[in-house]
Amino acid sequence: MTNYGLVIDQERCIGCQACAVSCKQENNVPMGQYWNRVLTEGGDKIDTPAGGYPEDGQEGSLDMKYQPTACQHCENAPCVKVCPVNATYTRDDGIVEIDYDKCIGCRYCMAACPYNARVFNWDEPEHMPEEGTGDVSARPQGVVEKCTFCSHRVDEGLDPACVVNCPADARIFGDLDEETSTVSKYIDKYETNQLLEDRGTNPKTHYIRGEMSPGRPQTSDKLESELDDVTPFSDGADDVPSDPDGSGGDGASGGHHSIDDDAVPHVPSVKSGGAD
């Protein structure tokens, strides 16, 4: 059975917030609300690094990572369990959704979610521009809303908007139960972790961290299921970029992120429109 999940490669994420903005546009997310947030791991304040300058690689050198965070579409979702009117439910394909007509705004789900993934419309939601760019209706005052993995797009065979609009190819979406899918291959190949694994929620967003992923090739705006003809990764030493003379290379053959010759550049599939 299909079981959708997401891989986020933190070695690639550049903290540009394109995923957060495209999510707002695609899903008509109101002013002041985010379904997808990009957190920083580093210094004491937001967007500041830990460590000091300038010794690269020395103890105390600058260090900062980004952690995009949204609903994790937990396999064992506490929000689903606590909803007293079954407004929050899990689809057959594993996506956790909310029936906004059923939601009574009790916010039990917000209290139960350990990932702070849900937002509540305290007031009549404001939108700027008035409508988002995707085909998603605005939610009314008094309901809880959150990331849907862009289920309206998935139902049409498209990747979520955050995935196709990530300029760093840091996000991969696909079927976790299909062992030949790209997400399954990456989870098998690279060292990954899930957030708050000890809570028993079994989140379906997996994060790649550490030094495991620099050789991962650029993909494309194709569906991951269409990527079988794009070699997902090579087997050995070529995975780790080499720069013996310290010149930095030309960026095409020995650069930090090797680019597959067949890869197609990103073409955002969100229709043009104003920004939120």
Shortest reach from residue 170's CB to ligand SF4, in Å: 4
Q: Which H or E run includes 145?
A: strand 144-145
Q: Does 171 bind ligand SF4 (CB under 6 A)?
A: yes
Residue 160 near ligand SF4 by CB under 6 A: no
Does residue 173 belong to the site contacting ligand SF4 (CB under 6 A)?
Answer: no
Binding range to ligand SF4, per CB under 6 A, among 66-74, 135-143, 244-252, 263-271: 66-74
Q: According to the binding rule CB under 6 A, does residue 161 interact with ligand SF4?
A: no
Q: Which of 74, 68, 149 is nearest to 113 (CA)?
A: 74
- Answer yes or no whether residue 153 interacts with ligand SF4 by CB under 6 A: no
How many angstroms separate the CA atoms of 142 and 44, rounded? Answer: 34
Position 168 contacts ligand SF4 (CB under 6 A): yes
d(CA 226, CA 232): 11
According to CB under 6 A, which one of 79, 136, 172, 176 is a site residue for ligand SF4?
A: 79
Q: Identify the helix (H) or strand (E) that includes residue 26.
A: helix 18-27
Q: Binding of ligand SF4 at residue 74 (CB under 6 A)?
A: yes
Rounded Cα gap, residues 207 and 71, in angstroms:
14
Question: Is-cis flag, bond preceding 214, omega within 30?
Answer: no
Q: How far is the CB of 272 from ligand SF4 (least distance, A)?
A: 18
Of 5, 30, 78, 125, the one binding ligand SF4 (CB under 6 A) is: 78
Cβ 144 to ligand SF4 shortest distance, Å: 9
Please tell me whether residue 82 binds ligand SF4 under the rule CB under 6 A. Answer: no
Q: Pick the piece of the chain touching ligand SF4 (CB under 6 A) from 127-135, 164-172, 176-184, 206-214.
A: 164-172
Please count the CA atoms within 13 angstroms of the CA of 17 that sit on its side-chain side.
9
Nearer of residues 17 and 269 to ligand SF4, judged by Cβ: 17
Pick out residues in 185-214 that bind ligand SF4 (CB under 6 A): 201
Q: Is 238 helix (H, G, I), strand (E, B) or coil?
A: helix
Min dist CB 60 to ligand SF4, Å, is 26
Task: Kindly tell me the burial class for residue 175, based on how many C-beta atoms sit within 10 Å of its own C-beta (0-12, 13-18, 19 or more).
Answer: buried
25 Cβ neighbours under 8 A, 6+ residues apart? 132, 133, 134, 161, 270, 273, 275, 276
∠ CA 168-169-173 to the nearest 5 degrees?
145
Restricting to residues 85-144, name those near ligand SF4 by CB under 6 A.
96, 113, 115, 117-118
Give 3 or 201: the residue with its C-beta nearer to ligand SF4: 201
Angle at 8 between CA 5 and CA 10, to 5 degrees: 165
Residues within window 6-65 making contact with ligand SF4, judged by CB under 6 A: 13-19, 38
Q: What's the CA gap between 273 and 276, in Å, rounded?
A: 9
**Positions that interact with ligand SF4 (CB under 6 A):** 13-19, 38, 66, 68, 71-74, 77-79, 96, 113, 115, 117-118, 146, 166, 168, 170-171, 201
